[in-house]
Amino acid sequence: MDNKTEKLLRGRLLSFKSSPTGPNDTSAYTYEEDGALLIRDGKIIANGIYAEVLTAASPTAQEVDHRPHLLLPGLIDTHIHFPQAQVIASWADQLLDWLNDYTFPAEQKFADKVHGARIAKGFYDALLANGTTTAVAYCSSHPNSVDAYFEEAEHRGMLMVGGKTMMDRNAPDALCDTAQSSYDESKALLQKWHGRGRTHYAVTPRFAITSTPAQLEAAGALLKEHPGCHLQTHINENHNEIALTRELYPEAADYLGIYEDFGLLGPKTLLGHCIHMNERELGVMKDTGSVAVFCPTSNLFLGSGLFDKARLEGAGIRTAIATDVGGGTNYSMLRTLDEGYKVLQLQRQRRHPLETFYWATKGNADALSLSDRIGTLEAGTDADVIVLDAGATQPMALRMETVETLSEELFLLQTLGDDRSVVETYVAGEPRKGA
Ligand code: GUN
Ligand code: ZN
């Protein structure tokens, strides 16, 4: 179908406007029982009650009836590692051993563009199977891997964020760049990919342990020269990591102080993990508008600790949620919401499903400063849409018999759902699940 043909998707529409304050906060979202989306040129041009949207459609519009399923914005994964598609499910000790024993060896293979291109196909297949239409990824330190990552994104028409991992010490030689080469290569990649179609570049120093001060300075320079780009890195994930980091940067006030000193913080900065934060760090996070990214399956798998959402948000810090594959154990944002629920439940902070589905859509889009394009079903935004079936498996269908409310249905999707619950994934209006 060419792009000019209109598409009319019919189903039960759910889209969030803001974070629901509780189960009864109907002002935070729009829900249309018999709704429709009208799509043209990859964008949503109308939404609402089916009968009304139908009147706006051209006579040649192609109608797809997804009733009785839910139509939601595509899910957004704000932290994932593309070269770890063959690291996921590795039996390892905690973070630093896992990196040395499995992750660094696997990432070395990405020097080969053919390998990167093949893994990219599998990686994007997995995202789309799970209803993820945008992800923010670390590539390897090889420029080839960044090209492989964005070429596949472009091929599938996806809004993807990513960047070359900068790392110039404490890793095998085959993965290490230098401060200068990481600057030069990142800059060239950024100039090639940032804003080309739907792709966005993220300056990506891995973490302070694998970057010399000169390299973090280079990352700060890149960000200053290209303020439209994101910056992503890791922080305060694991106690041994923190101890080694403090030895390497004895002058810094604390872990966050390192990134602060090199000008890496700001509203487009995504900080993975943020588990073991001190009070000063919370204040700096808030003041700079930096985002704390919760990676529940990874935090459990690597035994890293419990993300304290209430403490972070109480301090006024923006938060996002993500898979962190391959430290994370599932590509599915539904599985991720479920594990996140359990991490918060352990701390008496369980969240309502309306809030968690907001988080994985509009919330993550806001965290990326991209909610004018993705994360909702609003007219004028990109037509990244998923179709969810809360009765997709036998146990789900059985439980669905007793579900009476939208909230119960969402909680069922979160608790038992996975790729089997994703009936279709539309990217810029095109069906892409399995395509
Ligand atoms: N810290 C530095 N690199 C990584 C990584 O690849 N995964 C996780 N979970 N933490 C990291
Ligand atoms: Zn990570």
Question: Could you read off the pLDDT of 319-366 as tens digits, one per residue?
Answer: 999 999 999 999 999 999 999 999 999 999 999 999 999 999 999 999
Ligand 1 neighbour 359 (Cβ under 6 A): no
CA 206 to ligand 2 centroid distance, Å: 8
Residue with tokens 């304290």: 308
Round the CA-based radius of gyration of the chain to a whole number and report it.
21
The pLDDT value recorded for residue 5 is 87
Q: What is the DSSP string of 9-68?
A: EEEEEEEESS--SSTT-GGGEEEEEEEEEEEETTEEEEEEEHHHHHHHS-TTPEEEEEEE
Q: Give the model confidence (pLDDT) of 136-155 as tens digits.
A: 999 999 999 999 999 999 99
Q: Provide the percentage of residues in the chain whose pLDDT is more than 70.
A: 99
Q: Is 179 helix (H, G, I), strand (E, B) or coil?
A: helix
CA 241 to ligand 2 centroid distance, Å: 13
The pLDDT value recorded for residue 220 is 98
Please state the separation of Cα 86 from the chain's center in Å: 19
The pLDDT value recorded for residue 435 is 73
pLDDT over 70 (residue 10) = yes
pLDDT over 70 (residue 3) = no
Separation between Cα atoms, residue 29 and residue 246, nearest integer Å: 44
- Please name which of 394, 387, 395, 391 lies closest in space to residue 434, comparing C-alpha atoms: 387
Residue 10 φ then ψ, to 5° = -105, 135
Separation between Cα atoms, residue 296 and residue 308, nearest integer Å: 11
Nearest ligand by distance to the CA of 80:
2
The pLDDT value recorded for residue 198 is 98
pLDDT over 50 (residue 172) = yes
Tell me the two tokens of residue 199.
Answer: 């792709």
CA 96 to ligand 1 centroid distance, Å: 8
The pLDDT value recorded for residue 1 is 47
Q: Provide the percentage of residues in the chain whose pLDDT is more than 90.
A: 98
CA dist 25 to 17, 49, 275, Å?
11, 21, 29
Q: Is 170 helix (H, G, I), strand (E, B) or coil?
A: coil
Mean per-residue pLDDT for 410-427?
A: 98
Give the distance between the most distant pair of CA atoms in the chain. Answer: 68
The pLDDT value recorded for residue 298 is 98
Question: Would you give the end-to-end CA distance of the chain in angstroms?
Answer: 14
CA 298 to ligand 2 centroid distance, Å: 8
Nearest ligand by distance to the CA of 135:
2
User: Structure pTM?
Assistant: 0.98
Q: Give the model confidence (pLDDT) of 404-417 as tens digits.
A: 999 999 999 999 99
Mean pLDDT over each residue of the chain, to the nearest integer:
97
Mean per-residue pLDDT for 11-31?
A: 96
Separation between Cα atoms, residue 345 and residue 234, nearest integer Å: 24
CA 434 to ligand 1 centroid distance, Å: 29
Length of the chain: 435
Mean per-residue pLDDT for 170-198?
A: 98
- Please name which of 195, 265, 198 lies closest in space to residue 228, comparing C-alpha atoms: 195
Separation between Cα atoms, residue 290 and residue 267, nearest integer Å: 5
Mutation choice for ligand 1 from 88, 96, 99, 248, CB with most ligand atoms inside 8 A? 99
Ligand 1 neighbour 103 (Cβ under 6 A): yes
165, 104 in Cβ contact below 8 A? no
Mean per-residue pLDDT for 199-217?
A: 99
Q: How confident is the model at residue 318 (pLDDT cuts 50, 70, 90)?
A: very high
Q: Is 361 helix (H, G, I), strand (E, B) or coil?
A: helix
Tell me the two tokens of residue 88.
Answer: 């996921």
Q: Which helix (H) or strand (E) holds 312?
A: helix 309-314
Q: Ligand 1, atom 7: nearest CA belongs to which residue?
A: 327
The pLDDT value recorded for residue 286 is 98
pLDDT over 90 (residue 4) = no
CA dist 143 to 135, 162, 182, 335, 366, Å?
19, 12, 9, 31, 29
Mean per-residue pLDDT for 17-30?
A: 96
